[in-house]
Amino acid sequence: MGRSYLILLLQLLASWHAWSWYARRVRDGSDEPWGLLALVAMVMLLPRGARHPLRNVELGVLAGVNVALVLAYPWLTPLIRATVCVLCLTAIVSRMTSGRAFHLGTWLLALLSMPVLATVQFYLGYPLRLTAAALAAPMLRSLGLPAVREGVQLVIGSEVILVDVPCSGARMLWVGLFLAVTLACMLRLGAVRTLLACALGLGAILFGNALRVSALTLLERRQVPGPPWLHDGVGVSSFIPVCLLIAAICLWLHGRQRVSEAHG
């Protein structure tokens, strides 16, 4: 095990540029430091007690990845370089604690620990807003409003309501996936069921965000009277049923897994 700890230390030192970038990104205000929560969860959920040394083939793969990273360094963005370094470190720690270099839940938590909210908002913000508007329009029509989607806008008669950046649901997406992955790790779901929990959780998040947009649209049109703080209250409270649904999905998958193991 002494060699494994030495490799872990060397990987930490070799990745100094990644940790430096990570610290700057967390402090510069472009991302909320929520990724640190995923990092803490990953560490807390790692198995305790058992210790497994790194195998020679794993050391070879690790060395190859680091060499490739050095050679491709000028052409890679800081985010990609840091992600590779974090996953290398995750593989070492996962192998030492669980005996498996790759554990899907642990790797997903490692990815969620990256400060990428600003990047997600930049690349996925518009598609998320478009999806929210597309789902909210039929919801509003079911309430008797002649809502039509035009781009990321909802047109209701002569009124035009914009689904703006805060309503994209990027933060809701991160928190929802974090909850799904954390519960999957706690319940020891297999890789397939962990992916299924994330996929179903994603559907719940998109649907929940559309409900939020619909409710906020009603508030904008003063269809629902209330104090000024009700706008923010609706935005926060609409995520509660999404979290409950994600938890129910994970518990259901856990029950299915136990039944499968009992019959296996």
Q: What is the pLDDT of residues 141-168, one digit of tens each?
A: 998 888 999 999 999 888 888 898 888 8
* Torsion angle of C-alpha atoms 169, 171, 176, 179, degrees rounded to 10: -170
As a whole number, mean pLDDT of residues 230-249 equals 85
**What pLDDT, in 10s, does the model give residues 11-36?**
999 889 888 998 888 887 766 678 88
**What pLDDT, in 10s, does the model give residues 48-68?**
766 778 888 888 989 899 999
pLDDT at residue 197 tops 90: yes
